[in-house]
Amino acid sequence: FSPTSEHILLAYGRRHGSLLKTIVIDGETTLPIYTVLEVYRVSDLELVRVLPSAEDEVNVACFHPFPGSGLVYGTKEGKLRVFQFDRAHTVKGTRSVYFPEENIVGASQ
């Protein structure tokens, strides 16, 4: 659960055909993109965000303990992926979608 208990994080540890989000075709190259994380709103269980990846299989995932500070997941290959909410892209007085693409600052190690 998120620190405010408003959202729940669902992480997928295996690539499966049912999690295939899309296939990116670049010339002769095809690259499968799988859903690795989903964020649901607890009040109505509505899916509010999907995080795709072409290479990751998630081992563990959690929200940052401070509200609005993002989430992190570790891969089965030992990589750490950190996603933080970028408040510089928010519009004052409006409520933004949880982790919209333009507000995500991704980091990997």
Q: What is the pLDDT of residues 72-94, one digit of tens each?
A: 999 999 999 998 876 665 555 44
Domain boundaries, the chain: 7-108
Q: Tell whether the model's pLDDT for residue 63 goes beyond 60.
A: yes
Q: Nearest 10 degrees: CA dihedral of 96, 98, 99, 103?
A: 10
Q: Tell whether the model's pLDDT for residue 7 goes beyond 50.
A: yes
- pTM of the predicted model as reported, rounded to 2 decimal places: 0.71
Question: How far, in Å, CA of 18 to CA of 29, rounded?
Answer: 21
